[in-house]
Amino acid sequence: MRFFRFLIPSLIAVALAPACQRAAYAPTAHFVPATSQVVGKTQAEDPAIAALIAPYHDKVTAQMTEVLGTAPVALTKAAGENPLSNFVADLQRERASAELKQPIALGVMTNGGLRAGFAAGPVTLGSVFELMPFENELVVLDAPGPVVQQLFDYAAHIKMAISGATYSVTFDGMPKDIRIGDQPFDVNDSRTYPIAISDYLATGGDNLSFFKILTPRHTNVLLRTAIADHVRALTKAGKPVTARVEGRVKAN
């Protein structure tokens, strides 16, 4: 008991002693030695890794360099109606019609949905991947008149062509004289208009937010596959890969 009577006051004295009387804790960092190397062009190739990758590299290279067709002149995108967007929007309608076994009134492709054009000369599978590097699916939207009107309002501001339709743009950037399949468009008509489009745009991409209220019908075909198949079909039929500006948009 006398031992504890001596110990307890000693512990209290230590606890109440000024901090300066105790050694401050100084953490010490211990780092693992650096073993990484900066990878650059000057670093020698690892033969074992190169041998492992070679079969896959060669297979991909062979696939990407496959020639699907020939473009006599370059297909490029530009502001307003342009050959490349016309080409893709048209084949979207054609493929969607074949997949869903029904006529498709309209096809929509924005410049933002395409990443590159086709240079004049051979059109390879690699160039199709450059044009459409995304895993976008070709879908169909059934749009009522008011939504179709919003589409043309959007298109008129940038003079964007729409496959299957023609229209004029007023001085203040509004659409007029809209014709779909050579028939005048009536926003109050109760019919719906099937639109072939990528799933990216169908869910509001490129500011096409008015499409988000619609439920897409799936074709289960990647848009990239549809493009490649279309080019192959043109070649099989003895036709070149061509498109042109046709006056689908008329500016006043």
Stretch (H or E) spanning 53: helix 47-64
User: Within 10 Å of residue 123's Cβ, how many Cβ atoms?
Assistant: 26
Query: Can you give the pLDDT at residue 20?
Result: 45
Sign (positive or negative) of CA dihedral 213, 91, 78, 106 = negative
Q: Is 70 helix (H, G, I), strand (E, B) or coil?
A: strand
The strand pairing partners of 250, in sequence order, are 168
**What sign for the dihedral angle of Cα 61, 66, 71, 76?**
negative
- Rg, Å, the chain Cα set: 32
pLDDT at residue 17, rounded to an integer:
47
Return the SS3 of 227.
helix
CB contact set of 132 (below 8 Å; sequence gap of 6+): 114, 115, 223, 224, 227
| Rounded-to-integer distance, Cα 123 and Cα 119, Å | 8
Note if the pTM is more than 0.85: no
d(CA 159, CA 111): 11
According to the model, what pLDDT value does residue 25 have? Answer: 62
Helices assigned H by DSSP within the chain = 2-16, 47-64, 83-100, 125-131, 145-158, 199-202, 223-236
Strand partners for 193: 143
43 vs 23: CA distance, rounded Å: 50
Identify the segments of the chain with pLDDT beneath 70. Answer: 1-37, 57-58, 62
Give the pLDDT of residue 42: 80
194 φ/ψ angles, rounded to the nearest 5 degrees: -70, 130
Task: Write down the pLDDT at residue 23.
Answer: 55
Q: In the beta sheet, which residues pair with residue 107? A: 163, 196
pLDDT score at 53: 78
What's the confidence (pLDDT) of residue 19? 45
Counting every residue, how long is the chain? 252
| Cβ within 8 Å of residue 217, ≥6 positions away | 100, 139, 140, 141, 142
Q: How many CB atoms lie within 10 A of CB 147?
A: 18
Bridge-based pairing state of the strands 67-71 and 175-180: unpaired
**What's the confidence (pLDDT) of residue 51?**
80
